[in-house]
Structure 1
Amino acid sequence: MGKNQDSKWKMKKVLIIDDSPLICRILEKAIISFPDFLPVGKAANGVEALNLIEKLEPDLCTLDVNMPAMDGLSLLKKLMVRRPMPVLMVSALTKEGSKTAFEALRYGALDFLTKPGGLWEAGGTFEKVLQDKLRRVSAVDLSAIRFITRKSLKKRPLAEARPARSLIVGLGKEGMYTLLLRLLSFVEEVRAPQVWYLDLPEALVEAFAEYLAAECALPVKALVSGEVLREGFLYLTSTDKWLKLEEDHEGRLIVKKSERPRNVSGEEALDAFILEAVTLLGPRVMVIVGSGRLEKGKLGVAEVQAAGGKVIVLHRKICLYPEGPIFFAEGGRYPEVSLETAGQLLSKWPERGERDVSALKGQA
């Protein structure tokens, strides 16, 4: 086989699903120009898409929401049962922070790109963003792609809401909406409170917290200053906030907002928060690292391990942005685990029948 033929053989085949001929042409023109991607067809609705998927066997697809005959969300449900594949939503309705965007991710999509907007007219910006997103969704392992039913998010018993004496801190950035939705579908219960500290804009984190609160049986809250951390709760917060963890005169863990020091990045809030948790709780701290281009947090995480706490990293192959897991897992110091293994650990930690991370590492 010649070099050109071999290069074409390795290309990822992309099916474009959109009822707008103009959008289809724009996407097709852009994808043709990308190395490693080849547009193989266009579908104007979900019914047509299902037929073309059987015929063309694409590796991934771009998908609109509003379409006749069968809309994008209805197609996602069927697709994830019949033939799971990476899906990038390209729709005016999948604006980051919107309920439709979160629903699309719950139904199995991996990421979204809003249309129309400045990217479409900004001289090559759209093409760069589209190419990056296609590369990322096509690289995610198929085991992380699934339709998450409401039942799977509502099956756990609620723990007593006692003041916390242990803590799970989750770190993440880009790609965490998808990953958290899938992770929670594997969690049976929550004993220690979880604080997911995300390096994302505060308004978007709060919108996601509101969505999860409506969809998940666990009590989910956007973390606010003065909050007393309680068992069984899942808290979301943004690095837009500089939060301090303190202990009151009754021994309760309280989160308080403070001014961010000058010349300090939002990501450095991750280190500061973890270090305060270790100072107060010692080995009763677990850190879980998720998706995102994270470049801070190693100092705090190292202190967790030194104090006898637990540190796990979600496997890079299931993360839309594997830079964070690679950054933390390099050298093999912290184990990379699957979503299912992470769900088991989050459910059982820190008491009753807890197993060591190393015993579960082989399930990654």
Structure 2
Amino acid sequence: MIKVLVVDDSAVMRNLLTELINEPRAIRVVGSAANAAEAERMIDRLHPDVLTLDVEMPGTDGLQLLERVMHTRPLPVVMISGLTERGSDITFRALELGAVDFVAKPRRDPINGLRPYAEEIREKIRTAHAARLIAPERFVAGGAPAPALPTALDPAVLREGLVLIGASTGGTEAIKDVLTALPEEMPGIVMVQHMPEMFTASFARRLDSLCNMRVKEAEQGERILPGHAYLAPGHSHLAVRRGPAGYVCELQRSEPVNRHRPSVDVLFHSGAQVVGPRGLGVILTGMGKDGAQGMLAMHRSGMWTIGQDKESCVVYGMPREAAEIGAVDEVVPLGQIGQRILARLRQPARRIH
């Protein structure tokens, strides 16, 4: 039984979340708190397994409480975030501080609007309970972009190469760690992070402020340029295709794949068909199997594939699924993935076996 403590300043929201979260014989809300002081007392008394935490609260807000909890009594935390620009910025800061995941409150009528997401909320609580917590020494504020690094990449690699990245739970920090380790002089990068529509543009802007390269939300028909990274928008699958002048972003509002839109598998399968040995694929932390079959297709096309290792994953799901079916050429700790991308890009493309 997973014991949950709900923290929200709204009594109506606390009651609703309690109703939606409780699951017979699996998940039980053991208490609810209206503010930070009450929450800290309940944590000491009730010993919950997972905390759900409202982002914006009066007095000591969700971020301040999260930081205190993660330093004094680390717990898996799922943030409850409003679908606003301010809400998304605070949510990304919460993920930096160690929150495992977040639930987005619908902008209109958040009380009734949350009801259809009951199973998603419970799934995120289950995932958080199984997640690896990030060590407190990683809790640092976002700083200046990383210093430029020498690449000495062949101009043909910059022009013809492509890096494809997929991630889910824990992926916002993992993608940030990978991209900030890379220089501006890189082949184009295309990425899928499982995330609601209202958060992807904000996430791209956050990455852009931290990285050497330009990071933006992908647009339909947009040419993929060296030194640029493109994030799939939350409303569409992202695929790559060949245009007259090089690779192009293709957005698809088709049905979810592996319950996700955008789906990592959609991106990776397109990379296998269009890029092949000229590309490099990376699969990062996340729950489930999205991306595993696509990575296998990329591997079989001659593309070099990298999977994040278990010890550095918040959730070792997607990389494990890819490794178990033989789709991963090398397993690498998160802190070394940027270096390995650069090392592989300096080597000739391998032959297709």
TM-score (norm 1): 0.71
Q: 1:219 aligns with which of 202, 214, 222?
A: 214
In the alignment, the residues of structure 2 paired with residue 208 and residue 184 of structure 1 have an alpha-carbon distance, to the nearest angstrom, of 10
Cα deviations across residues 209-236 of structure 1 (Å, max 9, x unaligned)?
12322344543123444535214x4332
Cα deviations across residues 305-324 of structure 1 (Å, max 9, x unaligned)?
553x42122357835593x4
In the alignment, the residues of structure 1 paired with residue 339 and residue 202 of structure 2 have an alpha-carbon distance, to the nearest angstrom, of 27
Which residue does the alignment assign to 1:67?
57
In the alignment, the residues of structure 2 paired with residue 262 and residue 183 of structure 1 have an alpha-carbon distance, to the nearest angstrom, of 25
Q: What secondary structure, in the 3-state scheme, does the structure 1 residue paired with 2:248 have?
A: strand
- Measured at CA, do residues 221 and 129 of structure 1 come closer, stay the same or move farther in structure 2, by a change above 3 Å? closer
Match status 1:58 vs 2:48: yes
Q: 2:225 aligns with which of 225, 229, 233?
A: 229
Q: What secondary structure, in the 3-state scheme, does the structure 2 residue paired with 1:40 have?
A: strand
Match status 1:243 vs 2:240: yes
Match status 1:289 vs 2:286: no
- Measured at CA, do residues 114 and 343 of structure 1 come closer, stay the same or move farther in structure 2, by a change above 3 Å? same
State the shift of 1:122 in Å: 7.2
Which residue does the alignment assign to 2:335?
340
Q: 1:275 aligns with which of 250, 254, 273?
A: 273
Which residue does the alignment assign to 1:188?
181
Contact 2:181/2:339 (CA < 8 Å) preserved in 1?
Answer: yes
Please tell me the residue identity of whatever aligns with 1:230. P
In the alignment, the residues of structure 1 paired with residue 117 and residue 217 of structure 2 have an alpha-carbon distance, to the nearest angstrom, of 32
Contact 1:183/1:342 (CA < 8 Å) preserved in 2?
Answer: no
In the alignment, the residues of structure 2 paired with residue 83 and residue 345 of structure 1 have an alpha-carbon distance, to the nearest angstrom, of 35
Which residue does the alignment assign to 1:83?
73
- Measured at CA, do residues 93 and 49 of structure 1 come closer, stay the same or move farther in structure 2, by a change above 3 Å? farther
* Pair member with larger Rg: 1
- Unmatched 5+ stretches in structure 1: 1-10, 249-253, 355-364
Q: What secondary structure, in the 3-state scheme, does the structure 1 residue paired with 2:148 have?
A: coil
In the alignment, the residues of structure 2 paired with residue 30 and residue 261 of structure 1 have an alpha-carbon distance, to the nearest angstrom, of 29
- Measured at CA, do residues 59 and 200 of structure 1 come closer, stay the same or move farther in structure 2, by a change above 3 Å? closer
Contact 1:171/1:198 (CA < 8 Å) preserved in 2?
Answer: yes
In the alignment, the residues of structure 2 paired with residue 112 and residue 294 of structure 1 have an alpha-carbon distance, to the nearest angstrom, of 20
Contact 1:183/1:340 (CA < 8 Å) preserved in 2?
Answer: no
- Measured at CA, do residues 57 and 159 of structure 1 come closer, stay the same or move farther in structure 2, by a change above 3 Å? farther
Q: 2:201 aligns with which of 198, 206, 215?
A: 206
Contact 2:239/2:267 (CA < 8 Å) preserved in 1?
Answer: yes
State the shift of 1:113 in Å: 2.0
Cα deviations across residues 61-120 of structure 1 (Å, max 9, x unaligned)?
010122233000222233333333211112435789933333332332222223466685
- Measured at CA, do residues 166 and 126 of structure 1 come closer, stay the same or move farther in structure 2, by a change above 3 Å? closer
Identity of aligned residues (%): 26
Which residue does the alignment assign to 1:358?
none
In the alignment, the residues of structure 2 paired with residue 168 and residue 189 of structure 1 have an alpha-carbon distance, to the nearest angstrom, of 12
User: After the TM superposition, which residues 124-135 of structure 1 pair with which residues of structure 2 at under 5 Å, given as runs?
Assistant: 125-135=116-126
- Measured at CA, do residues 122 and 137 of structure 1 come closer, stay the same or move farther in structure 2, by a change above 3 Å? same
Contact 1:65/1:93 (CA < 8 Å) preserved in 2?
Answer: no
In the alignment, the residues of structure 2 paired with residue 90 and residue 258 of structure 1 have an alpha-carbon distance, to the nearest angstrom, of 32
- Measured at CA, do residues 344 and 198 of structure 1 come closer, stay the same or move farther in structure 2, by a change above 3 Å? same
In the alignment, the residues of structure 2 paired with residue 20 and residue 325 of structure 1 have an alpha-carbon distance, to the nearest angstrom, of 38
- Measured at CA, do residues 275 and 296 of structure 1 come closer, stay the same or move farther in structure 2, by a change above 3 Å? same
- Measured at CA, do residues 126 and 241 of structure 1 come closer, stay the same or move farther in structure 2, by a change above 3 Å? closer
State the shift of 1:183 in Å: 3.9
Cα deviations across residues 148-188 of structure 1 (Å, max 9, x unaligned)?
5313x73342668974453321134x53xx41323423653
Please tell me the residue identity of whatever aligns with 2:18. E
- Measured at CA, do residues 333 and 270 of structure 1 come closer, stay the same or move farther in structure 2, by a change above 3 Å? closer
Q: What secondary structure, in the 3-state scheme, does the structure 2 residue paired with 1:243 have?
A: strand
Please tell me the residue identity of whatever aligns with 2:142. R
Match status 1:328 vs 2:319: no
Which residue does the alignment assign to 2:31?
41
In the alignment, the residues of structure 1 paired with residue 17 and residue 294 of structure 2 have an alpha-carbon distance, to the nearest angstrom, of 43
Please tell me the residue identity of whatever aligns with 1:271. H
Contact 1:169/1:196 (CA < 8 Å) preserved in 2?
Answer: yes
Cα deviations across residues 176-214 of structure 1 (Å, max 9, x unaligned)?
xx4132342365334533221457677653342123223
Which residue does the alignment assign to 1:5?
none
Q: What secondary structure, in the 3-state scheme, does the structure 2 residue paired with 1:70 have?
A: coil
Match status 1:149 vs 2:141: yes
Please tell me the residue identity of whatever aligns with 2:145. K
Query: Superposition RMSD on alpha carbons, in Å?
Result: 4.1
- Measured at CA, do residues 20 and 71 of structure 1 come closer, stay the same or move farther in structure 2, by a change above 3 Å? same
Q: What secondary structure, in the 3-state scheme, does the structure 1 residue paired with 2:51 have?
A: strand
In the alignment, the residues of structure 1 paired with residue 26 and residue 85 of structure 2 have an alpha-carbon distance, to the nearest angstrom, of 27
